[in-house]
């Protein structure tokens, strides 16, 4: 089988995927990540994961391509990557004391074959003071992360609880669901 192709340049996703021990390459998907008007956070995550996988698969016929996307859901409103320090402060202030759902979608595509899954993780943020948010953002610079935190780093200190079935989902690639999709696609995993 040809190596898997990860439709992402995220080092976090690549590091997670490398845990499976399968040969892989990466490619930039070049997809507009803007939400459609009124699009629900889960639907946005699923649509973007598929769009990323299909965009790369179109350039690499015959290869299995993995697309993934994560969208934070604060009371039905999607929160993407903050992009700058002010955006990170605003997101974390809005999430302070709230429970936020994180939808992490994956899509495995080869030519016209499509396999999909979406994981749900709920994170309960503790009440955050403005100076705590400022210290956290300065220390981690989470500007490329949905929801403005890195749970694999200091972001874990912002939470009261995490409820999920797959601890890798919150980092950006749900390996439990992905392993199931890969087995359906014919890959042999332990």
Place of tokens 């074959």: 113
The Cα angle at residue 149 between residues 143 and 154, in degrees rounded to 5: 120
- Distance CA(48)–CA(70), nearest Å, equals 9
> Is 69 considered catalytic here?
yes
HSE-up of residue 26 (Cα within 13 Å, Cβ side): 13
- Distance CA(145)–CA(155), nearest Å, equals 11
User: Which of 32, 69, 73, 163 is flagged as catalytic?
Assistant: 69
- Distance CA(9)–CA(6), nearest Å, equals 8
Structure tokens at 110: 């080869």
- Distance CA(162)–CA(123), nearest Å, equals 5
- Distance CA(151)–CA(161), nearest Å, equals 12
- Distance CA(143)–CA(150), nearest Å, equals 10
Residue numbers annotated as active site = 69
């Amino acid at each position: 089988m040809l190596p898997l192709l990860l439709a992402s340049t995220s080092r976090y996703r690549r590091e997670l995927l490398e845990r499976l021990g399968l040969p892989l390459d990466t490619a930039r998907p070049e997809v507009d990540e803007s939400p459609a008007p009124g699009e629900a956070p889960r639907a946005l995550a699923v649509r973007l994961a598929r769009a990323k996988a299909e965009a790369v698969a179109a350039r690499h016929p015959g290869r299995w391509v993995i697309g993934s996307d994560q969208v934070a859901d604060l009371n039905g409103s999607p929160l993407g990557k903050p992009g700058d320090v002010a955006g990170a402060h605003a997101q974390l202030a809005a999430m302070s004391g709230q429970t936020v759902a994180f939808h992490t979608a994956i899509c495995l595509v080869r030519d016209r074959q499509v396999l999909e899954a979406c994981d749900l993780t709920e994170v309960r943020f503790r009440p955050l003071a403005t100076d705590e948010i400022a210290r956290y953002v300065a220390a981690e610079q989470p500007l490329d992360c949905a929801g403005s935190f890195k749970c694999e780093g200091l972001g874990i200190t912002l939470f009261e609880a995490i409820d999920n079935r797959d601890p890798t989902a919150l980092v950006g690639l749900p390996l439990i669901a992905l392993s199931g999709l890969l087995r359906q696609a014919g890959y042999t995993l332990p």
